[in-house]
Amino acid sequence: MQSLGDPTFSLPPKLATSVESQFQHQWKIMKIDFHYVGALLKPYLLGNNMIHDDVNAKDGIKQVL
Instruction: List, for residues 22-35, the tens digit of each pLDDT value.
Output: 888 888 777 676 77
Higher pLDDT, 17 or 54: 17
Instruction: Give residue 22's identity as a one-letter amino acid code.
Output: Q
Q: Is 53 helix (H, G, I), strand (E, B) or coil?
A: coil
Residue spans of the domains in the chain: they are: 1-30, 32-65
Residues in the chain: 65
Q: What is the pLDDT of residues 4-50, one digit of tens each?
A: 666 776 778 888 889 888 888 888 777 676 777 777 777 777 777 77
Task: State the Cα–Cα distance between residues 41 and 35, nearest whole angstrom.
Answer: 10
For every residue of 6-20, which 3-state class applies, written as one string? CCCCCCCHHHHHHHH
Residues 6+ apart with CB under 8 A from 35: none
pTM (2 d.p.): 0.47
